Chain A
């Protein structure tokens, strides 16, 4: 039951490809976003404040770790469900979706995939309920697209590891109780450590002045001789492949998530075009505006089909990182283009916070950069089809 005006575009009846359960999941998250996110998000964005009260609620509704098995506090749902959840959260705001992506794919997933049984039992149920908030530290000040060259490292001191280095652009860094930190061991192999808030030598200063994802906190992680207990090393992490597997899961969610942002912008522009009159006609009756709207729905439809197919492949265990790169890149660009075009349909109104478009547009500038930039994903596809990596 939602009183929202939003009408979800489904031009190719993609709904028919979903199960009844998928639709209940999607509609539940949509209702939750209408009730809890939409009324507060413009102000949170304007004030550059993360709506912290949503964390617990997200834990209760179960959008953290939906594909993690129930025994560890997840819901044990499939990947299309995860995608639909991300889509609906991002229709609300990319910052809200980012929090869920980080908590699910970048914190819970690595603990589930690479952690010891004790680590899984200790952290996963609390992360699912938002009793603990996590962050993921891979990017460094001097190593973004090339994380393999990272400098953060740890040495074995017998009864503990000594961690040094710093991470930058870390979503939820200041509010996180635990950080999944990627660092090199003495042999130069990338491993994952669970660093807890309050460990001496560990600080997390905030990055101020963002014009994007303003309803989420971004910051640094600084490690100055941090003694990390040995049991906090995730035993099955080995090499850069481990964090890349996490990114792959998060990127999958982004490929779905941005469809939500795009649909919200398109829906807003379509409705506006049929209400606003100039020269005595609805602006939606002018060919130029129709071209914009028609192209938007075409691109949304293509993105929906791409995401759905990727979801099926992922459910069947057949998806590759290359598939995910293509969908992340295509869909984020699609959403950003739609945000820009739909903003123009609204004229001056489009720049205000009375409408969600400009906020989505600013958010999507981060989304097109994080989790592998638009350029780098193209090079990944290039690598896959030619066999030659152009980025190295």
Chain B
């Protein structure tokens, strides 16, 4: 079996987001990381390969991005992916990314394709679903576990009040969420060294239009000052809640 893990390159989740104007993210000083769901998917893929070396022959990671995302790709290779593909283009919106991924997946065969439930930058939650549609492939959403049991791929999903287990025919797309792996795999020093020579194929983007455009970003309003009311001026509090905050 061949596994493909789609990885996006996102700002570290502790980044204080700033914008340059109201349409562009200010990228200065941002630390870029593998999208957390993707990092966990890759971890699970590596665990599966370690547990079933006879079943899983290869793990590929793919990213739609510019050269700026290569450190993230190298980290994925250091973690244990065998090879990487980068579609050389700025990932502006979900359809564009899904369509680029679909082009590559069409030309190469993969048995399991992992995408994250969402990416930590824009939280769009659409690439996985779009990809399944574009490829007319089976997809399972909100996957929180994946195992190989008696030669079958068993996928678990959290549902209301319990867990659903599915026996899924390959090829399929697993849109993963929490639970897929406990902690992300930390690259070992040997792995980092070996990543130097692992293949990173750069492919030209297909001719695909963006279907959406960012019109504007708006920062949340700064929090107002904290005002204290004592027991004696409860009436004033009621007044403020009614007239200023318009909550009552």
Question: Within 8 Å of chain B (Cβ to Cβ): is A31?
Answer: yes
Q: Measured between C-beta atoms, what is the minimum distance from B228 to chain A in Å? A: 16
* Cβ-neighbour of B190 out of A20, A24, A32, A62 (below 8 A): A62
Q: Measured between C-beta atoms, what is the minimum distance from B15 to chain A in Å? A: 12
B192, A20: Cβ atoms closer than 8 Å: no
* Cβ-neighbour of B184 out of A1, A75, A76 (below 8 A): A1
- The closest CB in chain A to the CB of B193 belongs to A75
Bound-state Cα–Cα, A66 to B190, Å: 8
A1, B71: Cβ atoms closer than 8 Å: no
Residues of B within 8 A of A85 (CB): 189
- The closest CB in chain A to the CB of B35 belongs to A1
B71, A20: Cβ atoms closer than 8 Å: yes
* Cβ-neighbour of A75 out of B39, B71, B183, B192 (below 8 A): B192
With A1-B33, A70-B193 as known contacts, state yes or no: A21 contacts B187, CB within 8 Å.
Answer: no
B71, A62: Cβ atoms closer than 8 Å: no
Question: Within 8 Å of chain A (Cβ to Cβ): is B152?
Answer: no
B193, A28: Cβ atoms closer than 8 Å: no
Task: Scan residues 81-125 of chain A and give those whose CB is less than 8 A from a CB of chain B.
Answer: 81, 85
Bound-state Cα–Cα, A75 to B39, Å: 23
Task: Scan residues 175-206 of chain B and give those whose CB is less than 8 A from a CB of chain A.
Answer: 183-184, 186-193, 195-196
B36, A28: Cβ atoms closer than 8 Å: no
* Cβ-neighbour of A21 out of B33, B74, B188 (below 8 A): B74
Task: Scan residues 21-68 of chain A and give those whose CB is less than 8 A from a CB of chain B.
Answer: 21, 23-25, 28, 31-32, 35, 60-63, 66
Question: Within 8 Å of chain A (Cβ to Cβ): is B93?
Answer: no
With A1-B36, A1-B39, A1-B184 as known contacts, state yes or no: A21 contacts B190, CB within 8 Å.
Answer: no
| Most A C-beta atoms less than 10 A away, residue of B36, B70, B184, B188 | B188
Question: Within 8 Å of chain B (Cβ to Cβ): is A222?
Answer: no
B74, A24: Cβ atoms closer than 8 Å: yes
Residues of B within 8 A of A81 (CB): 189
Q: Interface size on A (CB < 8 Å)?
A: 21
A21, B192: Cβ atoms closer than 8 Å: yes
Residues of B within 8 A of A77 (CB): 189, 192-193
Bound-state Cα–Cα, A62 to B189, Å: 5
A20, B188: Cβ atoms closer than 8 Å: no
B183, A28: Cβ atoms closer than 8 Å: no
Question: Within 8 Å of chain A (Cβ to Cβ): is B78?
Answer: yes
Q: Measured between C-beta atoms, what is the minimum distance from B22 to chain A in Å? A: 28
- The closest CB in chain B to the CB of A35 belongs to B183
B192, A28: Cβ atoms closer than 8 Å: yes
Residues of A within 8 A of B33 (CB): 1
Residues of B within 8 A of A35 (CB): 183, 186
Residues of A within 8 A of B74 (CB): 20-21, 24
Residues of B within 8 A of A63 (CB): 189
Bound-state Cα–Cα, A293 to B6, Å: 43
Bound-state Cα–Cα, A76 to B193, Å: 7
Bound-state Cα–Cα, A35 to B39, Å: 16
Question: Within 8 Å of chain A (Cβ to Cβ): is B13?
Answer: yes
| Most B C-beta atoms less than 10 A away, residue of A1, A63, A85 | A1
B78, A62: Cβ atoms closer than 8 Å: no
Bound-state Cα–Cα, A21 to B196, Å: 9
Bound-state Cα–Cα, A70 to B190, Å: 8
A24, B187: Cβ atoms closer than 8 Å: yes
A32, B186: Cβ atoms closer than 8 Å: yes
A24, B183: Cβ atoms closer than 8 Å: no
B192, A24: Cβ atoms closer than 8 Å: yes
Residues of A within 8 A of B196 (CB): 21
| Most A C-beta atoms less than 10 A away, residue of B71, B189, B195 | B189
Bound-state Cα–Cα, A75 to B195, Å: 11
Question: Within 8 Å of chain A (Cβ to Cβ): is B2?
Answer: no
Bound-state Cα–Cα, A77 to B34, Å: 23
With A1-B36, A1-B39, A35-B183 as known contacts, state yes or no: A25 contacts B189, CB within 8 Å.
Answer: yes
- The closest CB in chain B to the CB of A5 belongs to B14
| Most B C-beta atoms less than 10 A away, residue of A60, A62, A63, A77 | A62
| A–B Cβ pairs within 8 angstroms, 30 of them | A1-B34, A1-B39, A1-B184, A21-B195, A23-B71, A24-B71, A24-B74, A24-B75, A24-B192, A24-B195, A25-B189, A28-B78, A28-B187, A28-B188, A28-B192, A31-B186, A35-B183, A35-B186, A60-B188, A66-B189, A75-B189, A75-B190, A75-B192, A75-B193, A76-B193, A77-B189, A77-B192, A77-B193, A81-B189, A85-B189
9 residue pairs, one from A and one from B, having the closest CB atoms: A62-B189, A75-B189, A62-B188, A20-B71, A28-B187, A75-B190, A75-B193, A61-B188, A66-B189
> Told that A24-B192, A25-B192 touch, could you supply 18 new A-B pairs with CB distance under 8 A?
A1-B33, A20-B70, A20-B71, A21-B74, A21-B196, A23-B71, A24-B78, A28-B192, A35-B183, A35-B186, A61-B186, A61-B189, A62-B189, A63-B189, A70-B193, A77-B192, A77-B193, A85-B189
